[in-house]
A and B are shown apart, each in its own frame.
Chain A
Amino acid sequence: MSPEDGRVPVFEIQDLHVWFDTGSTRRHVSEVHIVKGISLSVAPGERLGLVGESGCGKTTTILASLGLLPPSASVSGRILLEGKDILAEGEKTVGPHRWNDIAMVFQGAMNAFNPVKTVGWQIAEALRVHHTVEPRQRRARVAELLELVGISGENADRFPHEFSGGMKQRAVIAMALACNPKVLLADEPTTALDVVVQNQILALLTKLSEELDLALILVTHDLAVVAQTCERAAVMLEGRIVEQGPMTELYRHPQHSYTRQLFESTPDVFAAPVAAHEIAPVATPLLEVADLVVSYGGRRSWLAARRNRPSNDTLAVDGISLRVQPSEMLALVGQSGCGKTSTVQAILGMVPTSGGSIKVAGTEVTGLRRAQWRPLRRRVQMIYQDPYESLDIRFRVRQTLEEPLRIHGIGKSAKERTRIISEALERVDMTPPERYLGRYPHELSGGQRQRVAIAASLVLDPTLLLADEPVSMLDVSVRSGVLDLLDNLRRDLGMGILMITHDLSTAANYADRIAVMNQGHIVEQGPAWDVVNAPTHDYTKTLLAAVPSPDPEVRRVG
């Protein structure tokens, strides 16, 4: 379990168990065993990845290492810092090591800063609390720390809300480094960030760990991130570490079936198949978007609407053209804020357009009124990103699937509706349908929920599916299942699919064509393989350079 080359570990977790009390009464104790005997170690300058899906206990492990668990938790095991057990006497022994020796970068850096204090104040606070430097040198030290993570020192007097997401994450790292810790625990430090920014943050963490001889534990659900950053990784499943070893070993010869499953579900942009299949153009494509313009927020003030010309800086979508053929999957790839969501919203008629045309199966839909849109809605259906959010949790599966039928008056009898619903459930591999009809969303897994959402679209027998990041909120191991399902729908039923994604790897592996979007424009569009392997536009090249590969040999970070 110790580092490969016999370096002495600076930080060790030994046989850590964590239980949570879930409302014990006097008569009986009810608790859940979240972490079941974890052991890890890292040496100075070493980077260890802790990989697992949501609920596997990885965050709990990290919080336990710093003694930050809630009072409902019970802990057993040892946390050794340079050989000394810091958990031995609870708060008393762990307290002095916080930030001085072990610092932490939390999940969701967006909320890690107190919104009413300046960033500099909050970094300086660590110095004040721990008397790290002389009071007079604090300002200089804060500036130095910010420079270290690539932020100009003058920004110290700004408030968190004045920082961009990437800057905030950098500042959080600067704060973590304030007291020269020996160990840095980073919990999903890049999850909410765009891939280009993610790449920069990972490069920064790698650089810092090397320069400062910092032991880094990187907790993430994303194998590719670990592959690009860490030398070793531990794969965690249901509170246990199922496999641990050098990253290259894990990638080349995964021992545990779960590790293999994780790798299989992590698409590699550079291993995408060459030209999925040829699609012959047809006279009327399912979707034809020409020179579409959408201004921000959708609704314009009546004044702007009267003048009938949106000013240039308020355009979310600025003249894009797309085309989706039957049984074709087109991936619209871009970073958050690039306008891809506005595009789909406009196609669905949920936001007004400011120019251009959208034709659904040959019918112009811009400017249609709500009632005129209704019959068309059967043909165009949308799959949303977050299956935990997209279903009304008060509705059983049957009601969820019945609602679109009722809205469009399909199925005369209850029997006929049941038949349609059952067919749709079978289509999304939820068999036998009877097992699921009576369930509420919270009785389904994330992947099943997404399948129900897809089935709710299929009951209307649509010809065009719009999928907005259909797997980004799902656990890695179920992603490929949902993507394969979409793939089958277009192959078997001839549906056209427009998939929005931030993830070039997914796009490259599933789509026929890729359109890369940036700042409201489509900068490049073409067959998937060509876009990925022979990009012509600089922006596409930047994106590609930032995409992490699960193959540790294909190092791009740094």
Chain B
Amino acid sequence: MSNTSIDAGELVPEVEVSHGLWVTLRAVLRQPSAIVGLVIVGLFVISAVFAPLLEPYSTTNASCGVFDAPSAAHWFGCDDGGIDVLSLVIIGGRVSMLVGLFATVIAMVLGAGVGLLSGYFGGATDTILMRITDYFLVIPQIVLMIVIAAVWGPSLSHVVIVIGILMWTGTARVIRAQVKSLRERVYIKRVESLGASHTRIIVRHILPQVGPLLVANAVLAITVAIFTETALAFLGLSDPTAITWGTIMEHAFDRAAISAGAWWAVVPAGMAVALFTVGCYLIGRSIEDSLNPRLKVSYLSPRSWAMRPLVGRGPDAL
């Protein structure tokens, strides 16, 4: 799948000025899809936090036979080493989500920083930063990641750093577009003509406005990071000793779970990634939708307006 989040750069529709985090949050929570997303992500986070308590079996010692099918004792069956798959997925989620989180933090700091500087100051700063961003956007990142990971050697922290420093471009473009449009807003100009400093304008007026957008972006970026980690793991570039959703799938593929017909060695981890991604996607999307009022109008609705019987005195009375 993609290593650029789906809303890059100038294509982002100009987002309505938000009333700040609280109002946005309320608007987001009015959407059922946001609730579904929050519940999904919430459950994953809880399972990650309490993973050691929740895992039914050890992830280091065998608790059943090689590729045992799912049973009442082992809901998701066992892998090639006789290790309980459910325990693996719970523990693996912990690491995967952390990888996603850290990579996202790096990407957000870089992306928001570049986007803010570029959008706020414009001019030569903007040109140079955006040119750099453009190159990062065009060069196929997965290949660059493969090369870097291959040269540096496989390790989880390398994966985090590589994903982080290659994933910021989308965020930078989104934030830049938004800051650029905010910069033209009259109230920013008014505050500037009052004599406010750049720092004050950015901190008090611009950051709070791009905050919700940044959150939406971060939520989507986490899924992209987790995705990329699974892809890198699959290509043997992640830490082979770490348990992540990616290495679980890679391990199963490597140990011929497929030819053994042991789908349960693959499906739970894959479904975990998918579910978590759906959850994050729903949240991120809800935030973006609540920020973009233009999407609420459609002049080509499949339904038509309704006709009601005459209510007034009728034409004769006039």
- Report which A residues bind B (CB closer than 8 A): 1, 14-15, 17, 19, 37, 39, 67-78, 87, 89-91, 299, 302, 348, 350, 370, 373-374, 377-378, 381-382, 384-386, 389-394, 403-404, 407-408, 440, 442, 453, 456, 460
Q: Is the CB of B190 within 8 A of A453?
A: yes
Q: Which of B185, B193, B305, B309 contacts A382 (CB 8 A)?
A: B193
- A378 vs B310: C-alpha distance when bound (angstroms): 60
Q: Is the CB of A389 within 8 A of B195?
A: no
Contact residues of B between 224 and 258, Cβ < 8 Å to A: none
Chain A positions within 8 Å of B10 at CB level: none
Q: Is the CB of B304 within 8 A of A390?
A: no
- A456 vs B114: C-alpha distance when bound (angstroms): 33
- A98 vs B260: C-alpha distance when bound (angstroms): 67
Nearest CB on B from A141, distance (A): 27
Chain A positions within 8 Å of B191 at CB level: 392, 403
Chain B positions within 8 Å of A71 at CB level: 301, 303-306
- A91 vs B297: C-alpha distance when bound (angstroms): 19
A-B contact pairs, 22 of them (CB 8 A): A17-B311, A39-B318, A68-B299, A71-B305, A73-B305, A74-B308, A76-B308, A76-B310, A77-B312, A89-B307, A381-B193, A382-B190, A392-B205, A393-B17, A394-B18, A394-B20, A394-B208, A403-B194, A404-B194, A440-B19, A442-B19, A453-B190
Q: Which of B187, B192, B313, B315 contacts A389 (CB 8 A)?
A: B187
Q: Is the CB of A14 within 8 A of B318?
A: yes
Chain B positions within 8 Å of A381 at CB level: 193-194
Q: Is the interface of B mostly helix, strand, loop or mixed?
A: loop
Chain A positions within 8 Å of B311 at CB level: 15, 17, 37, 76
Total interface residues on B, CB under 8 Å, equals 41
Flag whether B189 is at the interface (Cβ < 8 A).
yes
- A78 vs B309: C-alpha distance when bound (angstroms): 10
Nearest CB on A from B162, distance (A): 37
- A131 vs B79: C-alpha distance when bound (angstroms): 71
Nearest CB on A from B37, distance (A): 21
Q: Is the CB of A14 within 8 A of B315?
A: yes
Contact residues of B between 256 and 311, Cβ < 8 Å to A: 297-299, 301, 303-311
- A374 vs B196: C-alpha distance when bound (angstroms): 8
- A390 vs B17: C-alpha distance when bound (angstroms): 12
Nearest CB on A from B202, distance (A): 13
- A460 vs B196: C-alpha distance when bound (angstroms): 13
Nearest CB on A from B222, distance (A): 27
Q: Is the CB of B193 within 8 A of A407?
A: no
Contact residues of B between 1 and 45, Cβ < 8 Å to A: 17-20
Chain A positions within 8 Å of B314 at CB level: 14-15
- A22 vs B76: C-alpha distance when bound (angstroms): 47
Nearest CB on B from A399, distance (A): 10
Known: A15-B318, A407-B195. A77 touches B304 (CB 8 A): no
Chain B positions within 8 Å of A373 at CB level: 195
